[in-house]
Amino acid sequence: MQLSPSAAWLVLTVAGLFETAWAIGLKYSAGFTRPLPTALSVIAIIISMSLLGWAAHNLPIGTAYALSRGIGAIGAM
């Protein structure tokens, strides 16, 4: 499904927020030994990658990937 350019940027921003969520969730999973944080982290990474792929249909992949990972890195600090 094609997105408008503004919708693609919004989807990309949400993908970055899920990137932050799974990065933080990994810390709470304690090396994948705690089931709930591990499951939530896996769900968050699936959502993040899916949204990134969806946004990349309308945006350059390099820009989309860099922005999504940048949001994740800043959010996880």
| Cα–Cα distance for residue pair 19/57, rounded to 1 Å | 19
Burial status of residue 25 (CB atoms within 10 A of its CB: 0-12, 13-18, 19 or more): buried
| Cα–Cα distance for residue pair 16/14, rounded to 1 Å | 5
pTM of the shown model: 0.86
Alpha carbon 61 to its chain's center: 14
Is the four-CA dihedral 5, 21, 76, 66 of positive or negative sign? negative
Residue range 4-45, pLDDT digits in tens: 888 999 999 999 999 999 989 988 998 889 999 999 999 999
